[in-house]
Amino acid sequence: MNHWLLKSDPESYSYHQLERDRRTVWEGVRNNQALIFLRAMKKGDLALVYHSGRDKHIVGMAEIVRGPYPDPKQKDEKLVVVDVQAQRRLPNPVTLVQIKADPSFADFHLVRMSRLSVMPVPPPLWKALLKLGGL
């Protein structure tokens, strides 16, 4: 199982909305590197959901319930989507300030490539983020 971080602008689609919907199509990814990561996702992988924009914090966990498939709303076969399902909200949101303050996250894509909307989370960082989030 791999672990991921998915970024979303909460004004467009928040974790609260994912909890309400229970499941959604994760769409709108256009960056080539983010698409490479999206194509690497598999059913059963877990992802942390990060609110971008002014919030800048990880708020919850989701499961990839359907691996990558062509975006049904687009005619470009390079664009793919995955289906995600809400798992649980983090007891303590993990802020970007907290992440940047910890030197163990120095090479994390969220710190180095802040505009990337989909990224892998290596196992040691996954465990550290869950601990910071109260899990």
**pLDDT tens per residue across span 67-94:** 999 999 988 889 999 999 999 999 999 9
pLDDT one-digit tens code per residue, 8-59? 999 999 999 999 999 999 999 999 999 999 999 999 999 999 999 888 999 9
In this structure, which long-range contacts are made by residues 124-133, counting pairs with CB atoms below 8 Å and at least 24 apart in sequence? 126/3, 126/48, 128/102, 128/104, 129/48, 129/58, 129/94, 129/99, 130/90, 132/92, 132/94, 132/98, 132/99, 133/58, 133/90, 133/91, 133/92, 133/93, 133/94
Does domain 3-132 bear CATH number 3.10.590.10? yes
Domain ranges of the chain: 3-132
pTM to 2 decimal places: 0.95
